[in-house]
Amino acid sequence: MAEVVVADVMAAANDVGAAGAQTITAVSTTVVSRPYLTPFEISSGSTPTLESVLVRITAQDAVGIGETTAMTAYSGETTAGLIDAIQSILAPAVVGRPLFDLAGLHQHMDAAVRGRSLAKAAIDMAAIDAQGRALGVPAGVLLGGRVRETVDMAWVIGLAEIEPAVAEAVAKVAEGYRHIKVKGGHDPRRDIELVTELCRSLPAEAELAIDFNEAYDLGTALPMLQRMQRAGLVLAEQPVPGWDVAGLARLTQALDLRVMADESIQSVHDAMRLVRRGACDVFNIKLLKVGGFYRARQVAAIAEAAGIAVKVGTMPELGIATMAAAHFAAATPVATVPADLVGPLLVDGDIVDSAPFTSRPGHAVLPDGPGLGVELVASIAEVTG
């Protein structure tokens, strides 16, 4: 019996060694889009369609798919710019490199171009998917293992009139969501009225957050949030511009509710700056925003060391990137704030099976398949193949 076990272990080790020796042979891109069921609006603009760039990485015996999206109103990027960065700059930097050397891939991408995190994230994501498929293990194994099998999800409501926003929030709590995030930023009086009405209408077990997407200055944000705090708000996301770390710190110190940084945290260096200033209680880590799994884990480590909680956010995105975010949340101990994983549920038909996000409302159920554990629908698979 011992000889059989040893033989099996040796065979598995040889398989892993062979997989680990693979190099990236090709990188390709495909644009896909899905219309929002309702145009998704934030304080900086409205988006009628969720348009994504899929990135396919090919190695000798494995293929992986990543996804990125510009959401120009949030990032300032464009789909054309993402495709150009991936095809003209990043693909030449990673083709021929070892698939399993994620740190090396980032080193070569960073040497090829400064910034461009959204483009780098898609390659990083595709590499992790390909690694998992080559080894036959879920992405979570490559991230150190899952600390949770399901991920609590927040329901996100874009800028809307007060009455329909409240009705949607109440309905989603009835379905099983326990954390509601609404968008604000056009008018402080409207935002106060919205939060007050939501706190009055939602059951006690529901938590409410509002995301301003950098809309206000400190002088406007502080008295507004003091009133919202009295109404029952528990989390305020990026009330002031991303560059105003001092203003964010002042809000964090003055308020009892939790203050979350999003646009203020674009890199590991931003994370350190926020920690040093005591500028927030929560990091919103988006894989696309910081450059993929590799950088997101670095930011999460800073958060853990500083005693800061993490929300895993999305832009929103379609099913590939959203599932990647779910794997990251499941493998990150400090990701205790319900994640924003509703992108596939806001559009008319996803590019993958959306069951992981719908089978238990308010919870994302992690698949056990290799890599990201999801497959493209047939029509999209034919185009990317």
d(CA 314, CA 140): 18
d(CA 263, CA 163): 28
Among residues 117, 29, 30, 126, the alpha carbon closest in space to that of 74 is found at 117
Residue whose token pair is 């379609």: 318
**Could you tell me what percentage of the chain is helix, strand and coil, using 3-state DSSP and rounding each to the nearest 5?**
45, 25, 30
Two structure tokens written together for 129? 């998917």
> What radius of gyration do the chain's Cα atoms show?
21
Torsion sign over Cα 154, 155, 161, 166: negative
183 is known as an active-site residue: yes
Do 83 and 13 meet the contact criterion of CB atoms below 8 Å apart? no
Among residues 236, 157, 233, the alpha carbon closest in space to that of 199 is found at 233
Do 350 and 37 meet the contact criterion of CB atoms below 8 Å apart? no
Catalytic residue among 120, 181, 183, 311: 183
β-strand pairing of 63-69 with 45-59? antiparallel
- Grouping H, G, I as helix, E, B as strand and the rest as coil, residue 30 is strand
Catalytic positions, written as ranges: 183
